[in-house]
Structure formats: C-alpha cells, structure tokens
A and B are shown apart, each in its own frame.
Chain A
Amino acid sequence: MERRKRRESISNSNLLFLISLVIFVAMYTVGFFRFPTSFRNLQTFVDFFNNNAPLIILTCGMSVVMIGGGIDISVGGVTGLVTMCCAVFLNGRAGSVAGSIFLALGIGLAFGALQGFLVSYLHIQPFIITLAGMFLANGLLTVIHKDPINAALPAFLKLREADIKIQWLGTVNRLGNFIPLRISYCMIIALVVVTVIAVLMKWSRFGRNLYATGGNSQSALMLGINVKRTKFFSYVLCGLLSGVAGYVFIMQTGAGNVGNASGFEMKAIASSIIGGTLLTGGVGNMIGSPIGALSLLVINEIIRSAGINSNYQAIISGLLLCVFIVLQSLVVWIRGKGSPTLPPWLQFKRDSR
C-alpha cells in the first residue's frame, strides 16, 4: 500500500503542549543568560523539582480531571489535611512510616471517591462539590490540630533526609568546593507520578475514554463508553494524587500546619492551563502539565533573582495566565469549524479534503 507522506495536522493537545514547551524554554533561556549564577547551575534546575514536587503532582491530578471536563478545587485543602493527619499520626503512639503512607493515600482516595460519586452519579456541579470538599478539608485540618506540629518519628526523619547524590554531576560553589547534585525522593516520586499518569492517559483505555468523555460526553456515551464510571475514576485518581502530594509535602517540610498547601488548587489549575490543558475538557497533554508548573516557577524565580518585590510575582503570574488563556482560546477558535471572519494569515492550514 502506498504510504501517504502528508504531514498530519497537529492535534490541539499537542499544539498547546508545544506552545507551553516553547514558553518554558524561552523563560529558562532568559534566566540562563540574565541570571547565570543561579540558572546556569544544574542544581537550580533540579531544585525546581525537589522543592515543588507537591505542586507538580497536584497539577497532574488536576489535568486528569480537567481533561475529563471537570474541575477539582479541593486538592489544596486535601493536601493540607493529609500533612496534618500524617504529622499527628507520626507523633502518636502507633506512628509508623508505612501507616502514615496508607493514611495519606486513604484520605486522598476517600475525598476523591466521595466527590467523584457526587459529581458523576448524582450529576452535581463539580465546582460546587469540590468547593464543599475544600471547606471540609480545611475545617477538618483546623479541628485536628490548630498549631504547627513537627513529625518527630525517627524513621520518618530518616526518610526525610534521604536523597540521592550524583557525584559526577555536581557543581563547584563559589568557595571552590565540589557539591554533588542532590536529588530528593520527592523529585523521584513526582517524576514517577508524571510518567505513570502520562502513560495512563496516552495508552490506557481509561485515559482514552476520559479524553472522549471530556471532548463530548454525549458522543462518548453513544460510542459505548461508560461515561459516569470514567468520570468517577478521574476524581478518584485526582484525590489519590492529592494524598500523594500531601505526603510529599510533609516529607519536605516535616510539619503539619494549618496553612500547608493553601492556594495550591489555584496554582495547580494555573499550571494545568499553562501546560496546555483546556478548561473545556478533552484537550491536554500530560507532559505539558509539569512543564506548566515549571514555567510558573521559573517566572517566579526570575522575578526573585531580578530582585523585584515579591508582590509582583503574583501580578506577573496572573498576567501570564491571562495571556495563556487568550492564546489557547484563540488557537481553538482558529482551528475550530472554519471561521471566515479571520484573515488568511491567521488561519492555520486545515485539511481540505
């Protein structure tokens, strides 16, 4: 059979992913040349992962739900709740590392399953339900313990300290001492999560069904997909990842605190969107999500390095998000069903067969 060698028109998911990748690389390049002391340092790059693993994990969960056409704003609250519960548990008489891991995942799963059930099977607005979930999680967090509490279990402290030093990739600091590259367990967990979720969304039946559901749930139903179950599991997965993120959070900070991970749900949404996930569902790339999160962090880092008042970080992040949303809707609008009002130079080449 003769192979047609025409280039495929790129899918929206991949196009938006490319855009976010370009933005990320551009941002990093700016940092690289403008602030060489920090950005030229490999450790800085790795630290983006080391220090922001919870956000990256949450962004993955958020993207999954958003691809399915939903939203979950309880993730920040659940993450915070998990840190506090784990801290209390680890300091308790029965405290153990394995137990705390189960506790973290259990809390995440419970929230995900409950919210998923309400959203998918009882058809309640996901925004409202997860808002309620967020309040619930925040409330529980303060009820369990009001003050910051340090997890002091020795086994846990050992886990916290554990990291991997790569001797052949280190950097030489200003004093001329060689410091090996440090990779924390948090980063590894984050990378594993990203990989697993990316594979799941690309190659599993669940992932493809979720894309279909988010794209057009009515069609998905007619195509024989169990839409309710698919949506349900997207929330369960997101909840589970909130649990993971919570545990990673406490591995970093070592403490349960009322303010832990507050506002992370919004950061996760922002990162997902910058990473190329559409709020309308059905479009998104799972590699884009962590890149979206990193873009946000790199911008903040640049602003910090430039010595600008940290208040501007929020403003600039906000503006960036704005630009992204406009860019995305523009792209989708342009590539949507033929828009004759657009000048030809703005129109993407469409398949005209």
Chain B
Amino acid sequence: MPNDIVLEMRGICKAFPGVRALQDVDFTLRRGEIHALMGENGAGKSTLIKTLTGVYQKDSGQIDIEGRRTAFRSPHEAQANGVGTVYQEIMLCPNLSVAENMFIGREKGVFVSWREMNRRAGIILDGLSIPARPTQQLRSCSLAVQQMIAIARAVDMQCKILILDEPTSSLDEDEVQKLFALMRELKERGVGIIFVTHFLDQVYQVSDRITVLRNGELVGEYEAEKLPQVELVSKMMGKELGDVEKLKNLKEAAEDGGTPVFEAESLSSAAGVRPYDFHIQKGEVNGFTGLLGSGRSESVRAIFAADKVTGGNVRINGKRIRIRKPKDAMKRGIGYLPEDRKGDGLIADLSVRENIVLALQTMHGFFRPFSLKKARAFADEYIALLNIKTPSSDTPVHSLSGGNQQKVILARWLLIHPEYLILDEPTRGIDVGTKVEIQRLVLKLASEGVSVTFISSEIEEMLRTCSRLIVMRDRNIVGELSGEDMTQSKIMHTIAGEVTQNA
C-alpha cells in the first residue's frame, strides 16, 4: 500500500571535500515499522540521517514525507514537521527536571506554568510507562530513562518519523530491553522508526526491515526475517560468502608453549571494553578483527593504557606488572601505532626527525635531550631502513604523504626496540606499494622475535600477516581462529555469531 509510506528518500547524494559520503541512496520508511539502518562506521548512516533532519543539505535527490516534497534547513524545522531525532549522546539538560526537559524550547508565552507542565509530563510518562517522575532531576535518571524521556519528548511533538541514532550504545542489557519495549509500543501507535545501530543482535530483536549501506552506497533493503545474520555481515563488509579466496598464509603459526610475551586477564578500560583475556607469544603476529566499531581498537588501546584501564591483570614475560599510562607500557617494551594517525600519532608541525625520536626521548627523559647529531643519526638510520621518502630529516612531517607519515610513526616505535608492537590500522589510506612494504616489515619483525598485534579492516591483509585472529562483536571477543580455520567465511560466520558450519 503506497499510503503506508511516511518517508521516501530517492537518489540522495552528498559530498564533502574529498569524500563522497552518499551516492544515490534510496530509503523508504513505512508507517508503524522499525527500520534498521545498518553499515560499518563511515558507511554513511549518520550522513543520511543528517541530510534528512536538515543538519546537512543534500547535493541532489529528493525527500518526500507523506508524499510532500521537503527539504529541512535545520533540525528544529525537521522537528516541527514531525521528524524527531534522539541522538546517541542524549541531548537533554541534566540540570533541569524531567518535565522541563520534555517541554522546554516549545512553550509559548512569557511565563512557565510548572503545575500544568508537570501534569502533562506525568500523563505522557504514564502513557508510555516510562519510570520517571516529572519533578525528578534529569541527572538522577539512568541513561536509559533519559533516552526514553528524549523519545517521549519527540513523540509528544507528534512525530511521524522517529530517528534513533545508536540509542543503545551506552545502555546495559536490561535497559536495552526497556527501550525496545518502548519502541514496540510506539510502533503500535503507527510511528515509523529508523533505528541506526551496529549491534547485530539487537537489530533482529526489533526490526522489521533492514537497509544496508556501505561506503556511502545503498547495498539493499531487506526484510529482517529473510536475511540471515551472516548474510547481513557479508553485505555490510562487501564480501560475498561464496567468494572464499585461498590466501597463502605467509606466517607460520608461532610455536605454542613457553611464557607469553604479553598476557592479559579480564582487562577492561573506560572506553567501554568488556573484560577480556588475551595473550601473545614471542614472534607471533595476531590480529583483532570484527566490524568497525566492534571494539577492536578499544581493546588494544587498553593494553597500551591509552584509555583509562579499569580492571584486569597484565603479565609481561610471566611477570605481573601494572600499566597505568602509556609511558609504563613503553618502558615495558610495548609500542602502539594508533588508528588515528593525525590525532594520536604525529605532531604535524614537528620535523620528521623530531617525530621519530619522540618515543625514545620520552623514555630517555625530557631533561636529557639527545644531541642533534645523535638524533639525526637515529632519524637517518630509520629513514633509510623504512625507505621513508622525505627531502630531509628536517622536513615538517605534515608535508609527507600518508604512507610516509605512517612509516615515520612506525620508525618512532622501532627506535625503542619494542618486544611487543601494536599496529592499529597501519595500512589505512596508504598506497598499495607501501602497504605491502609494511606487511613485509611486520613479518620481518616477527621473524626477529618481536610480537605484533595487527589490526586491519581488510581481511585479506589480516589473513596474509596474522597467524591467529581474535574475532570481536559488540565489544566482546566471540572467537579465536588460527591455522586451517582462518578463512574469510569462517571469520564472517564468527562475526555474525552463528554456529560455524563448514564453509
């Protein structure tokens, strides 16, 4: 029934400088359905939502709401026209009461009638069975309840379309169920809900339909019941299930036994990593894999204490130690090449030499600087070793290409002669030649006895370099694969969380 369609987006395109965020994307939402919008980080989910709510202006395409052509210029305007959005970070004021948060910004007149406001808020809260009192301070509510209050506000504004952008990412299982109950209730009332998430299990619990995006393009729209979880994963990642290349694993599995170089026991961090166990042998290359946003980067950051470590034990070469800050980790011979090269890695305005010497200098102590001669010797050695293409070691690092910048960071860590090196997406955004160079280097390091943890979005690359893969989903480790088990289809099945059959 065409009458059922509340929102129709056709051929949406949106480009940012240098990036085509959305390319010819279609999206259809029906009345009273929960429609999941899925995709890895950077697939264009948020951009699509923001073009709908008027945060961004689309470059081309059309948006029809209940058959009427619309183009909102601001989230406020979208709200006034029945498109309510509840964001991941709750956009409410914790210093106000629950009732105020529901009504502020939309009352008329000079004065506020507290009694009337509390009465109306009470009716709405009761109607949606949200466990909060109107006069309660918002900050005293749990995150889930705050989320629900934000939804209640949107609902009270007569929204026809409710967008929930990653609403469950900071909720625990109980709270998620409460939220889902509320979503089903709203669905009964005929609200069309767009549910943006990357939690696979949750999608199947509430969604009627799933639209998958990848790299800013529409992969397809599916009915949830007819799309097995593993296929959803393969669609999100853009890998066909049947297409299982046999990749030669260059790396022999490291001999087991002996004390691991690094061992972690129920390690957890403030960045939301669930406690996990982990170990790595001398000269082993292992990898963390999973969808973007599954917690792989956060897990390795916990090892390096790049985020605040909240629990767990760590052993290095069998000895129990505490790593509270990155410098502790460095002293124990752990190096970490961060995912965000520009933000966490390089100091763009310093020279190549200064960037290379940085980690060693930190360990050496800042009050005992290296002589220029010495620093230059270090830098030149590694520029030659890693084949960094730079006019000189005095060149500011921001004038180098991405691949060479990456090599500079790599050089920084090699200079401290680490026992254990963590490389988080070392090959992202760099050319193929350099990629292969880095892969070779990783294997060479391993053969020299350095343990390496390697993270990459490209499964082929992981299969080529790692001898053991740790698979993550929704911030939990869900499997470990090594040897014969390391095939694309096995990995995808594990990510999807289905019982692995022989692929």
Contact = CB atoms under 8 A, between A and B. Distances in A.
Interface in A273-292: 282-283
B40 interface: no
Interface residues on B, range: 35 or more
A224 B77 CA distance: 9
Given A4-B133, A219-B91, A351-B141, A209 B104 contact: yes
B137 A9 contact: yes
A214 interface: yes
Contact of A208 (B104, B132, B133): B104
A205 B107 contact: yes
Contacts of B135: 8
Interface string B94-127: 1111001100111101111010000000100010
A12 interface: yes
Contacts of B443: none
Contact of A215 (B93, B105, B110, B153): B93
A142 interface: no
Given A209-B104, A209-B105, A218 B76 contact: no
A195 interface: no
B305 to A, nearest CB: 18
Contacts of A8: 133, 135-137
A222 B140 contact: no
Contacts of B104: 208-209, 212, 220, 223-225
Contact of B110 (A1, A205, A335): A205
A203 interface: yes
Contacts of A9: 136-137, 140
Nearest to A225: B105
A216 B150 CA distance: 15
A216 B133 contact: no
B75 A353 contact: no
Most buried by B among A211, A223, A225: A223
B139 A335 contact: yes
A322 B9 CA distance: 58
A216 B101 CA distance: 12
Nearest to B92: A219
Contact of B92 (A223, A224, A350, A353): A223
A203 B142 contact: no
Contacts of B106: 224
A300 interface: no
Interface in A189-231: 203-209, 211-212, 214-216, 218-220, 222-225
Contact of A205 (B87, B112, B132, B140): B112
Contact of A204 (B95, B110, B142): B110
B51 interface: no
B76 A203 contact: no
B131 interface: yes
Interface in B379-418: none
Nearest to A12: B95
Contact of B91 (A203, A222, A350): A222
B76 A204 contact: no
B229 interface: no
A283 B137 CA distance: 12
Contacts of B126: 1
A140 to B, nearest CB: 35
A160 to B, nearest CB: 35
A13 interface: yes
Nearest to B133: A4
Nearest to A10: B137
Nearest to A351: B140
A283 B138 CA distance: 13
Contact of B111 (A12, A205, A214): A205
Interface residues of A, number: 34
Contacts of A203: 111-112, 114
A37 interface: no
A44 interface: no
A6 B100 CA distance: 20
Contact of B93 (A13, A204, A224, A282): A282
Interface string A322-353: 00000000000001100000000000001101
Contacts of A283: 95
A220 B94 contact: no
Contacts of B105: 209, 212, 220, 223-225
B485 to A, nearest CB: 39
Interface string A165-198: 0000000000000000000000000000000000
Interface string A1-24: 100101011011100000000000
Nearest to B142: A353
Nearest to A14: B137
A211 B93 contact: yes
Contacts of B122: 1
Contacts of A353: 131-132, 141-142, 145
B145 A219 contact: no
Contacts of B93: 211-212, 215-216, 219-220, 223, 282
B79 interface: yes
Contacts of A205: 107, 109-112
A187 to B, nearest CB: 27
Contact of B96 (A4, A212, A222, A335): A212
A11 B95 CA distance: 8
A42 to B, nearest CB: 35
Contacts of A4: 133
A351 B100 CA distance: 18
Contacts of B109: 205
Interface string B62-98: 0000000000000110010000000100111111110
A222 to B, nearest CB: 4
B147 to A, nearest CB: 13
Q: State the 7 A-B residue pairs at the shortest beta-carbon distance, nearest first.
A: A224-B105, A215-B95, A282-B95, A223-B105, A215-B93, A222-B91, A351-B140
21 contacts: A8-B137, A9-B137, A9-B140, A12-B137, A203-B112, A204-B110, A204-B112, A205-B109, A207-B112, A212-B93, A212-B104, A216-B92, A216-B93, A216-B95, A219-B90, A222-B75, A222-B91, A223-B91, A224-B104, A224-B105, A353-B132
Interface of B: 75-76, 79, 87, 90-97, 100-101, 104-107, 109-112, 114, 122, 126, 131-133, 135-137, 139-142, 145, 153
Given A12-B95, A211-B95, A212-B93, 19 more contacts: A1-B122, A13-B95, A204-B111, A205-B110, A208-B100, A208-B104, A208-B112, A212-B104, A216-B92, A219-B90, A219-B92, A220-B104, A222-B75, A222-B87, A223-B153, A282-B95, A335-B139, A336-B139, A353-B141
